[in-house]
Amino acid sequence: MGYLYILYGFLILVAIGIILGVVLVFASKKFKVEEDPRIDAVEKMLPGANCGACGFPGCRGLAEGLVSGEVKKCSTCKVGKKDKHFDLIIEYMKAHPDKDGKTNVPTL
Ligand code: SF4
């Protein structure tokens, strides 16, 4: 008889796990935050040192600033080089406007 309590307990835990899993999947789809794909692209063009010399906690922060237009100069990154990083970012931003067609092209 005692083993039935164990079985019931196990089944209840499995049911709770399944219900919570379904709720999490629903919530992740419902509340998903769409991020601008240009941020990933610009981040890859930055040096990737994550040194913080630009005033952001890492390269991703500066990439977000460049894409949003909050940061106007690529040279805010103290590690990057004009030929190797900044020219690529400027060309990319010229060619990839936001969904409203607006371009936030940074300068050197
Ligand atoms: S200064 Fe450049 S390399 Fe350093 S965190 Fe900022 S963007 Fe990255």
Answering whether pTM is above 0.95, one says no
Residue 60 and residue 88 share a domain: yes
Say yes or no: 25 and 74 in one domain.
no
Mutate to test the pocket of ligand 1, among 60, 77, 81, 86 (most ligand atoms within 8 A of CB): 77
State whether 47 and 14 are in the same domain: no
Within 8 A by CB and 6+ apart from 106, the residues are 66, 71, 72, 73, 74, 89, 90, 93
Q: Is pLDDT of 20 > 70?
A: yes
> Ligand 1 pocket test: which of 67, 79, 85 has the largest number of ligand atoms within 8 Å of its C-beta?
79
Q: How many structural domains compose the chain? A: 2
Residues 27 and 5 grouped into a single domain:
yes
Token pair listed for 100: 């409203």
What are the tens digits of pLDDT across the range 54-73?
Answer: 999 999 999 999 999 999 99
**70, part of any domain:** yes
**Cα separation values, 77 from 13, 41, 62, Å:** 51, 16, 8
In a domain, 106, yes or no: no
Q: Is residue 107 part of a domain?
A: no
pLDDT at 1 over 80: no
pLDDT value, residue 92: 96
Mean pLDDT of the chain: 95
Range of the domain at 1: 1-32
Distance in Å, CA 73 to ligand 1 centroid = 13
Q: Indicate whether 75 and 58 sit together in one domain.
A: yes
